[in-house]
C-alpha cells in the first residue's frame, strides 16, 4: 500500500500530464558506466507495415516478420515469428491494451550471426504504472528460436547494452522502489539490474551490482548516496515481485 501511494504521489509531483513516448521516463534515469551511457547493442527498429505486423524497414521480403494475434475469446496474445523461408514460430504474451504502441527490435543478441528479436508490450496503467511492460525475446538456436518473456519497467533500446569487456549482451532490467533514506525521509528510486543470456534463460550478472538512481524533477543518471546496503535491502524486499525471476 505504501509503495502504491508513493508511486501515486510521484505521478502528481513529477507532472505526468506531459506527453511522453513509452520508455522515455526510464531512459532519463538509465545507469551510466564511468560517467557515460552504457554501450548500446546495435539493433534495427521494425516498422508496423500492416495492422499488428512488424517488418524490417528495408529488407521486409528477406527478413522475418513479427505478428500479434489477439483472439477475442482468449486471455492472451499470440506472437508469431515468420521467417522468409516460411518457417513459423509461436509464443504468447499478455493481451492487456495500452495507450502506447508495441515496439519490435532486431539484433544479434547471442553473437551467432542470426537475427534475434525483442518485442515490447507496454502496460495498460496510468502515470508510472504505465511503465510496466513485458518483453518477449526470441533467441536463435540453429534453425529454430527459443522464446522467453521478461517483466520490467520502461523496456526499450536503452535496456539493451553491451558489456565493454566481454562484448556480450546485457539486459538492463528496471523497476521502481520507494525507500526510507539516510536523511530519514522517503524518496523514490529507479533500480537497474543487469542480466545475461546463458543460452536457456536470463541470469543475474554477479559482477554488476544493482544501481539505484533517485527519481527527481530532472533526468538523473547518478547512483544515489542516500541509501546504505541495509536500506536498499529493506526497500527491495518490501516489494520483491522481481526478486526470484524476471521471466515468466
C-alpha cell at 45: 527498429
Considering only residues 170 and 131, tell me which one the structure prediction assigns the higher pLDDT: 170
Strand partners, 148: 137
Average pLDDT (40-57) is 93
C-alpha cell at 137: 525475446
Average pLDDT (186-195) is 96
C-alpha cell at 59: 529488407
Considering only residues 129 and 40, tell me which one the structure prediction assigns the higher pLDDT: 40
Residue 31 has a pLDDT of 96
**HEC sequence for 190-214:** EEEEEEEECCCCEEECCCCCCEEEE
Inter-residue contact 55 to 65 (CB < 8 Å): yes
pLDDT at 40 over 80: yes
What average pLDDT does the chain have?
Answer: 87
Inter-residue contact 34 to 221 (CB < 8 Å): no
Considering only residues 214 and 15, tell me which one the structure prediction assigns the higher pLDDT: 214
**132-164 tens-digit pLDDT:** 899 999 999 999 999 999 999 999 999 999 999
Residue 12 has a pLDDT of 39
Residue 248 has a pLDDT of 62
Average pLDDT (63-90) is 91
pTM: 0.87
CA distance 217 to 137: 33
CA distance 122 to 154: 8
Place of cell 530519514: 184
pLDDT grade for 16, boundaries at 50, 70 and 90: very low
Point out the least confidently predicted range of 74-88, 89-103, 130-144, 209-223. Answer: 89-103
Residues 6+ apart with CB under 8 A from 26: 131, 153, 154, 156, 158, 174, 190
CA distance 54 to 52: 7
Residue 72 has a pLDDT of 80
pLDDT grade for 19, boundaries at 50, 70 and 90: very low
Q: What is the dihedral of CA 225, 215, 22, 56, to 10 degrees?
A: -20
Residues 6+ apart with CB under 8 A from 60: 49
Considering only residues 8 and 227, tell me which one the structure prediction assigns the higher pLDDT: 227
Amino acid at each position: 500500500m505504501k509503495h502504491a501511494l508513493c508511486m501515486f504521489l510521484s505521478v502528481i509531483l513529477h507532472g505526468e500530464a506531459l506527453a511522453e513516448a513509452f520508455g522515455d521516463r526510464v531512459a532519463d534515469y538509465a545507469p551510466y558506466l564511468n560517467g557515460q551511457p552504457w554501450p548500446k547493442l546495435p539493433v534495427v527498429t521494425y516498422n508496423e507495415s500492416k495492422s499488428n505486423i512488424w517488418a524490417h524497414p528495408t529488407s521486409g521480403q528477406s527478413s522475418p516478420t513479427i505478428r500479434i494475434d489477439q483472439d477475442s475469446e482468449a486471455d492472451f496474445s499470440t506472437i508469431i515469428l515468420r521467417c522468409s523461408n516460411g518457417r513459423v514460430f509461436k509464443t504468447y504474451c499478455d493481451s492487456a491494451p495500452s495507450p502506447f504502441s508495441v515496439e519490435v527490435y532486431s539484433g544479434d543478441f547471442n553473437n551467432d550471426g542470426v537475427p534475434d528479436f525483442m518485442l515490447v508490450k507496454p502496460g495498460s496503467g496510468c502515470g508510472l504504472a504505465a511503465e510496466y511492460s513485458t518483453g518477449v525475446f526470441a533467441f536463435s538456436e540453429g534453425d529454430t528460436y527459443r522464446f522467453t518473456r521478461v517483466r520490467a519497467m520502461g523496456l526499450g533500446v536503452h535496456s539493451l547494452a553491451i558489456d565493454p569487456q566481454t562484448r556480450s549482451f546485457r539486459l538492463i532490467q528496471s523497476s521502481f522502489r520507494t525507500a526510507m533514506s539516510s536523511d530519514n525521509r522517503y524518496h523514490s528510486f529507479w533500480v537497474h539490474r543487469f542480466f545475461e543470456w546463458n543460452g536457456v534463460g536470463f541470469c543475474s550478472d554477479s559482477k554488476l551490482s544493482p544501481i539505484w538512481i533517485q527519481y527527481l524533477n530532472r533526468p538523473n543518471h547518478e547512483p544515489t548516496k542516500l541509501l546504505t546496503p541495509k536500506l536498499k535491502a529493506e526497500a527491495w524486499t518490501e516489494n520483491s515481485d522481481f526478486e526470484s525471476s524476471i521471466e515468466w
